[in-house]
Amino acid sequence: MSLLPEILSRHKMVRKHYLSLQKGEECQVTYVWVNEDRQNLQSKTRTLYNEPAGIRDIPEWYATSADHTEVTLVPVRMFRDPFTLDPDKLVLCELVNSKHISKVNNRRSQCVTVMDEVKQFQPWFGMEQEYILFGLDGKQLGWSPEGNQLQRACSNAVGANKLCGRDISMCHCRACLYAGVKIFGSNAEDLWSQWEFQVGTCEGIEMGDHLWMARYILHRVCEDFEVVASLDVKPIKESLQSSGCHINFSTKEMRSEGGLQYIEEAIRNLSKHHSQHLIVYDANVGLDNKRRLTGKGCTSSFHHFSTAVACRNVSVRIPGHVSRMGCGYLEDRRPAANCDPYLVMRTLVETCLLGATDEDDEEV
């Protein structure tokens, strides 16, 4: 039997002692940025000698990109640090190159530009992030040779014989609340160790910033539990179930009385650009969603656009309560669990609010 869990447990106890030591007036800031593959996160920490009052008080820093060139870490949003506590901070950064031009792979700066163009519409977003937990042995958390890891637990299940990982989900939500991330809620999903958390309601670029930081906090919490959170859209190939990141979207007009007509108009626009959206709705240029959107397991078809009221196996859904009230929001269920939120938000807004003029879609 491996001694690794016991050794790691001792390390956590030792760490607790050192983190309890007084450190004076200094403040540690952990810089967090999106890797150039648009899926993974990186971070490093530096000491400041005064607690920053805002994002402008945090200096730029430097890192090395995948091609071994120097890039600048430009702070864009600050959070409290739930791991080392106040006054320490987590700060989300944008990558820029030596000429101070945003790295194309980050996508954030392009999204900021688009959100500035449509700010009069007051675009609101909420994103529903699904993930699956695995042990360090690469097996689904809670798996045993006698068990059935493909058993559907049913969303929102309760009971030790129906799900695994609740402590991790609860700790993640509490850490997000401490940090100031707009965590909306969480729930168990259909597979044994599959969970979801929701971020929102956020306006404009705030949505992407808060989702990326929520993902970072999830991975850090999982470090402490010695497990891995996978955003792979279908990490268990034998299962019909997959992981997505549905996005809820509305404008001031959609939320107002009679807003259903604006929701339906937006959906018509989305239907004309189905294939273009699928290209950007996952991190692997459409390849992941092709594995995920099979038309089974509460997913829509990759090849055809569909919409309906109060139905979950469609591309874009109008929630039942929205239809009854005649206003509210739409839910685009196509984004994959590993999507870049900045790219998804930008695509939605360009299509629904800026009148994308590409020719109508053909079948994918």
> In this predicted structure, what is the pLDDT of residue 4?
60
In the chain, the percentage of residues whose pLDDT exceeds 90 is 67
Question: Is residue 61 pLDDT above 80, yes or no?
Answer: yes
Residue 30 near residue 90, CB atoms below 8 Å = yes
Reference 34, options 83, 89, 71; nearest CA is: 71
Q: How many CB atoms lie within 10 A of CB 2?
A: 8
Alpha carbon distances (Å) from 237 to 7, 131, 232, 240: 33, 15, 11, 8
Taking the C-alpha atoms of residue 281 and residue 315, their distance in angstroms, rounded to an integer, is 12
pLDDT band at 80 (very low <50, low <70, confident <90, very high): very high
Taking the C-alpha atoms of residue 364 and residue 348, their distance in angstroms, rounded to an integer, is 18
Reference 187, options 111, 130, 260; nearest CA is: 130
Largest CA distance in the chain: 64
This prediction has a pTM of 0.92
Question: Is residue 327 pLDDT above 90, yes or no?
Answer: yes
- Does 201 sit behind a cis peptide bond, omega within 30 degrees of 0 on the bond before it? yes
Taking the C-alpha atoms of residue 113 and residue 205, their distance in angstroms, rounded to an integer, is 9
> In this predicted structure, what is the pLDDT of residue 364?
44
Query: 114-146, pLDDT tens digit by residue?
Result: 999 999 999 999 999 999 999 998 888 987 655
Domain 23-103 sits in which CATH superfamily? Glutamine synthetase, N-terminal domain (3.10.20.70)
Backbone φ, ψ for residue 301 (5° rounding): -85, 135
Query: 189-246, pLDDT tens digit by residue?
Result: 988 899 999 999 999 999 999 999 999 999 999 999 999 999 999 888 777 788 999 9
CA torsion through residues 100, 104, 105, 108, sign: positive
Alpha carbon distances (Å) from 311 to 85, 222, 307: 43, 33, 8
Residue 270 near residue 277, CB atoms below 8 Å = yes
- Residue 60 DSSP code: P
Taking the C-alpha atoms of residue 15 and residue 224, their distance in angstroms, rounded to an integer, is 11
Amino acid letter, 186: S
Question: Is residue 26 pLDDT above 70, yes or no?
Answer: yes
Q: Are strands 245-250 and 330-332 parallel, antiparallel or unpaired?
A: antiparallel
pLDDT band at 37 (very low <50, low <70, confident <90, very high): confident
Question: Is residue 86 pLDDT above 60, yes or no?
Answer: yes
Alpha carbon distances (Å) from 94 to 25, 36, 60, 158: 27, 11, 10, 40
> In this predicted structure, what is the pLDDT of residue 145?
58
> Where exactly are the structural domains of the chain?
23-103, 114-352
Q: What is the DSSP string of 313-353?
A: SSSEEE-HHHHHHT-S-EEE---BTT--HHHHHHHHHHHHT
Element (H, E) at 173: helix 166-179
> In this predicted structure, what is the pLDDT of residue 148?
54
Query: 27-36, pLDDT tens digit by residue?
Result: 999 999 998 7
pLDDT band at 359 (very low <50, low <70, confident <90, very high): very low
> To the nearest 10°, the Cα dihedral for 219, 220, 224, 227?
10
| Summary mean pLDDT of the chain | 89
Backbone φ, ψ for residue 211 (5° rounding): -70, -45
Q: Domain 114-352 adopts which CATH fold? A: Creatine Kinase; Chain A, domain 2 (3.30.590)
- The 3 state secondary structure assigned to 288-309 is HHHHHCECCCCCCECCCCCEEE
